[in-house]
Chain A
């Protein structure tokens, strides 16, 4: 996936470039708004990461100019986190909006989502089959049933949604905020520990009775469902 980063903060941009390259992206970066617009119009990018505040041409004006000719998915970054800024960005044609400071895994997830949305894809490759699985954990989305090592695991409706999200995004770290938003439609990162508790209860049902652990905590980042071997 070919990504253009238009970000004037050198350090942040460097980390984003090296991080995304390690994730398998092809990355080009510029610090200038004018140069970014030129690259975006002329190049063939799958997605653009655009900082809102740039020297010269600011992010919003760049986006408006770009939208007159190209539909390249744009993920806007901003240090202004207010709702108004978000709405303004989305109105100007941004596909998604991420407030600084963001988690890198969330940036990756959102970039993939907006790129996939353009391609007409959906959330998980496995979801098409109506069945999600990882090692000996399987989920039948239609029958709303979960199996581990052949046995049925009883889950509540929300636990089912939580596990479905983790399974669909297996191998990717999901942040607390992302989980709260996608499972419960709570788009705030409150000062409660409800996601942690929900994860623990899910873990008791799908992981604790079994030897091989699938649901892992990534300190400071979130949770990931993956098979790390025996």
Chain B
């Protein structure tokens, strides 16, 4: 997986979830409060209407009671009309015990539509009651019946206005709080992002275990993450220790192997030089021994080299004015092999750099050798040099392309692994070209042991670069980047 790419599997974003929950909570809270305010006010208004009706009822009872002793009914009617004349929201209807309308205040259309609103539109509260006491005007027994209408339009308008204010408040409150929460969550999660970036950086360096010597910096991280960082750093420490032990062991083994190998090679060579004193089978045996010993020597040498590079070995740089010149030198070295494979070659691009020229030649030679093995006869091998400017470190990208069968994505991923051989997948272990070589091949044995591209990778890292490989439409490009100048101590990896 490339740097910065993380699996989306395993849940939504923590920040998104927190912001969403906070927004929802705010909305629910504000809505609940608003509902309470609305209900309380409505209850208050209903109670006030009730009180208003009570007062009017008491007034009607009082006036009727007072009028019962008056000489004329016109007196009652007048008094009642007076009382209700200024009250647009209220209307009184009075009926005699038989149901005949006696009086209607506020409107002359009493009886036509008892429940119709008088002057204002809106909800109407109606209260029917009987007025105790006799009715002198009708001279009949029984009580008068009264009906009070109370139009509540003002209260309704007040409630409607309140509802719109509350809805606006809930929505804008939710919006403002959500934005604030989103910003806050982002701010609080920022250290987490930096932690992920640190881990990414470790992964980038970890290609050859160099990242193991680094530790996560938890200084600006929240307390909750400290144990995680601590455990992670402990794990790195343990891995680092094991890796160093392993690298040292490899170096020791390789080193300890060199002396007996030197003895064996020298003794066999000296024996082989005693020409004439050996039988054919003895010569054959010694020749075969030497082949194997040379192979062993090559493996030990390359393992030692990789081990040194893996422990942070850096390139010894000197100024090289023309990388194209070096590339041509490498192609020159491969001239005969390229011709034999019926391949043409070319160099494109140019750059100057401070590099370890012997190492870069070796890397290019390994790449050209690899391309030669896998190219289709009659095609061209292209060596390209592209200067890159990335940040403050000038880089150069060296690559070798060949036309051939192409390499699958899975193979590309493993290409730079130690001892991974493309040959094993695509062709027999000893390619036909090698088998057809006759006695020259036998002079040194098969020297390829699958470390060629690992060495390219190690040389790239020793120059602050990294290897890469692509394969598109049968064109396979394998190469590496180099920092053209040594990194300053501030930005070079710690070892």
List chain A positions with a Cβ less than 8 A from chain B: 9, 11-12, 15-16, 18-19, 22-23, 77, 79-84, 87, 99-105, 107, 156, 158, 173, 176, 180, 184-194, 196-201, 217-223
Contact = CB atoms under 8 A, between A and B. Distances in A.
B335 A190 contact: no
Nearest to B283: A219
A188 B291 contact: no
Given A18-B270, A191-B447, A158 B258 contact: no
A191 B369 contact: yes
B246 interface: no
A5 to B, nearest CB: 12
A24 B259 CA distance: 25
Interface stretch (B214-222, B402-410, B431-439): B431-439
Given A187-B358, A193-B437, A219 B369 contact: no
Interface in B348-390: 356, 358, 361-362, 365-366, 368-369, 372
Could you say which of B267, B304, B313, B434 has the most chain A C-beta atoms within 10 Å of its C-beta?
B267
A12 B334 contact: no
Contact of B265 (A18, A101, A199): A101
B290 A217 contact: no
Given A99-B301, A189-B301, 20 more contacts: A9-B263, A11-B263, A11-B267, A12-B259, A100-B261, A101-B262, A101-B300, A184-B329, A186-B330, A188-B365, A190-B369, A191-B449, A192-B368, A197-B437, A201-B339, A219-B291, A219-B442, A220-B272, A220-B289, A222-B444
| Interface size range on B against A | 35 or more
Given A9-B259, A9-B263, A19-B270, A219 B365 contact: no
B245 to A, nearest CB: 20
Contacts of A80: 255
B340 A219 contact: no
Contact of A79 (B255, B365, B366, B438): B255
Minimum-distance CB pairs A-B, first 5? A220-B290, A219-B287, A192-B369, A196-B440, A19-B270
A158 B332 contact: yes
Contacts of B441: 193, 196
A194 B369 contact: yes
B438 A184 contact: no
Contacts of B313: 82
Q: Per DSSP, are chain B's interface residues mostly helix, strand or loop, or mixed? A: helix
Interface string B400-440: 00000000000000000000000000000000001001111
Contacts of A102: 262, 265-266
Contact of B259 (A79, A186, A192): A79
A173 B305 CA distance: 27
B444 to A, nearest CB: 5
Contact of A105 (B269, B442, B448): B269
A105 B290 CA distance: 13
A161 B170 CA distance: 91
A166 to B, nearest CB: 14
B6 interface: no
14 contacts: A9-B259, A19-B266, A101-B266, A176-B443, A186-B362, A191-B366, A191-B369, A193-B369, A193-B437, A194-B369, A197-B437, A201-B336, A219-B288, A220-B445
Contacts of B366: 190-192
A158 B272 CA distance: 29
Contact of B258 (A100, A193, A221): A100
Nearest to B270: A19
A27 to B, nearest CB: 13
Contacts of B368: 192
B362 A188 contact: yes
Interface in B269-284: 269-270, 272-274
A200 B440 contact: yes
Contacts of B297: 101
A81 B259 CA distance: 12
Given A15-B266, A100-B261, A104-B266, A193 B434 contact: yes
Contact of A192 (B288, B300, B337, B451): B337
Given A104-B270, A185-B329, A194-B369, A218 B261 contact: no
A11 B260 CA distance: 9
Contacts of B361: 186, 188
